[in-house]
Amino acid sequence: GENVEQHPSTLSVQEGDSAVIKCTYSDSASNYFPWYKQELGKRPQLIIDIRSNVGEKKDQRIAVTLNKTAKHFSLHITETQPEDSAVYFCAASEGTNAGKSTFGDGTTLTVKP
């Protein structure tokens, strides 16, 4: 089955700096890669996703890049703010089973004011 590895497990940045979280996956059939944000004590929420037919996607301060050849994808957050502090999860899934995702172990991002 699919195996997703996520790095780093913790990340601390100064407000205004950029943050990058990286994930690798093992199943070349995976073609959908969402990122979820989970604030303390709350439910995970989708913040951005990318499909295998594109290499990059942006949404304001958040961007995701995908390298299918190398089987890795990354989340980029620019101009970080304290409210960006949360646990971020990457995931990967395939086609007809797209809802059945394999998740990374999460990255705890702390943005220091």
Partner 1 sequence: DGGITQSPKYLFRKEGQNVTLSCEQNLNHDAMYWYRQDPGQGLRLIYYSQIVNDFQKGDIAEGYSVSREKKESFPLTVTSAQKNPTAFYLCASSMALSQETQYFGPGTRLLVL
Q: Is 24 in the site for partner 1 (CB under 8 A)?
A: no
Measure the CA angle with vertex 82, ends 76 and 83; round to 5°. Answer: 80
- Give the nearest distance from C-beta 74 to partner 1 in angstroms: 17
Residue 38, Cβ neighbours under 10 Å: how many?
15
- Residue with smaller CB distance to partner 1, 37 or 84: 37
- Give the nearest distance from C-beta 15 to partner 1 in angstroms: 25
Q: Is 30 in the site for partner 1 (CB under 8 A)?
A: no
Q: Is 77 in the site for partner 1 (CB under 8 A)?
A: no
Q: Is 32 in the site for partner 1 (CB under 8 A)?
A: yes
Residue with tokens 């620019």: 78
Which one of residues 28, 29, 95, 112 is an interface residue with partner 1 (CB under 8 A)?
95
Scanning 11-19, 37-45, 54-62, 72-80 for contacts with partner 1 by CB under 8 A, the matching segment is 37-45
Cα of first residue to Cα of last residue in the chain, in angstroms, is 41
Give me the half-sphere count of Cα atoms (radius 13 Å) on the Cβ side of residue 98: 10
Which one of residues 18, 29, 42, 67 is an interface residue with partner 1 (CB under 8 A)?
42
Query: Tokens for 3?
Result: 């195996």
Q: How far apart are CA 50 and CA 30, in angstroms?
A: 11
